[in-house]
Structure 1
């Protein structure tokens, strides 16, 4: 039987990186900068930290469910310190957050997001973004890509709702709209996104294969996997 999105879904919450933003084209440069900051000028250590956090220093590709793929700045900083960074964890987390904000200026969208989001909001679906990135970086990305008019809710790991895969971001989005979590569809490219959907009791967990996740890594938790968010309007139209 072909899975279809239930008509009770009234809003969509997106992950950002790998879902709306091309992960490797955007984050390979940012993550190299992050590792260089953490390595404090030690080139060999920089490569060690990149590998430890999930990015191949040669190809720039990031592994599914690795630190770079799904963790927040605090978690990445602690992981880097555990793997040799001489920078204090709290100070490193602040430096990483700033690097991530700066990197938002070069964000590469997965597709024509204005077209996709316009079709979704035009059909009456409010949209939000929930990311393991910091809120300032998310807001900067939304501004740079000209998506502000489409996005009514933004939550980062530091917004006070708890980090992924805890359910708080979905619950906050539902409360913001006056809906229940069961009326929210969560769309993401890694297991943290879909595990958050399950923990929150979201009405749908939709995996996208445009980021670091794979069909194999996502199918256990996803109701359906689609190529990218570009496929969402047609999926919704089939309801």
Structure 2
């Protein structure tokens, strides 16, 4: 096992940008929502830089780009509702697992580690995506961005997971691809591990100061 797992009793993963590349599906839904509002599409490249703070912030960024100014709350409500409808109809057909993810999750399960998922994606979309890859049985607990009042980078979701399993934060590891994951993990007292291939608003995730970085999650096992 990877040395960063020494003394670790619970592992928590981010989803988008860490386990799966979901941007192709997210971009289709964003562009469809913009079209509903009579606005020009954003395209996948821009959406890739906007992901990470939940679906409402994603649409706020898309609307601001399309309109040249921040959206009103009414426009954001309509845009977000349209996005949720489009994404909910097809949240996974273009999404793919990153290399090494299945090997890591299989290996951790065989080693007896409890594994949780904490994402800022709305909770309703978690199960369909995991089921599409046959991974729903790998996670003992899944939290979405709307499961609690707070979301990452607030440490509350991670502290909730630690308390759920009765593991002290010092015995927990947060694995993610962005500064929000690392900030949440650090604030919760978790050890942190980053992958460099995900979504971090165009910034190197190493700049966020994780305790470790792996090129592939397969390195964990």
TM bucket, shorter chain: 0.7 to 0.9
Alpha-carbon distance change, 145 to 6 in structure 1, aligned in 2, over 3 angstroms: closer
For 2:215, the equivalent position in structure 1 comes to 227
Deviations 1:131-180 (A, max 9, x none): 11111111111111111221111111100151110001111111111112
Pairing 1:84-233 to 2, within 5 Å after superposition: 84=67, 88-106=75-93, 107-111=95-99, 113-202=101-190, 204-213=191-200, 216-233=204-221
Residue 40 of structure 1: which of 32, 36, 51 is its match?
36
Alpha-carbon distance between aligned partners in 1 of 2:203 and 2:54, rounded to the nearest angstrom: 23
Alpha-carbon distance between aligned partners in 2 of 1:6 and 1:118, rounded to the nearest angstrom: 15
- TM superposition shift of 1:227: 0.6
SS in 1 for 2:145: coil
- TM superposition shift of 1:42: 4.1
SS in 2 for 1:211: coil
Alpha-carbon distance between aligned partners in 1 of 2:24 and 2:198, rounded to the nearest angstrom: 13
Alpha-carbon distance change, 8 to 218 in structure 1, aligned in 2, over 3 angstroms: same
For 1:80, the equivalent position in structure 2 comes to 62
- TM superposition shift of 1:6: 5.3
Q: Moved runs in structure 1, 4+ residues, more than 4 A?
A: none
Segment drifting more, 100-109 vs 213-222? 213-222
Alpha-carbon distance change, 41 to 82 in structure 1, aligned in 2, over 3 angstroms: closer
TM-score with structure 1 setting the length: 0.78
Q: Which runs of 5+ in 2 are unaligned?
A: none
Alpha-carbon distance between aligned partners in 2 of 1:34 and 1:173, rounded to the nearest angstrom: 30
Pairing 1:12-27 to 2, within 5 Å after superposition: 12-21=11-20, 23=21, 26-27=22-23
Q: How many residues matched?
A: 213
Alpha-carbon distance change, 14 to 101 in structure 1, aligned in 2, over 3 angstroms: farther
Alpha-carbon distance change, 17 to 6 in structure 1, aligned in 2, over 3 angstroms: closer
SS in 2 for 1:206: strand
SS in 1 for 2:97: coil
SS in 2 for 1:46: coil
TM-score with structure 2 setting the length: 0.84
Q: Which runs of 5+ in 1 are unaligned?
A: 234-239
Deviations 1:94-118 (A, max 9, x none): 3323333334332211135443212
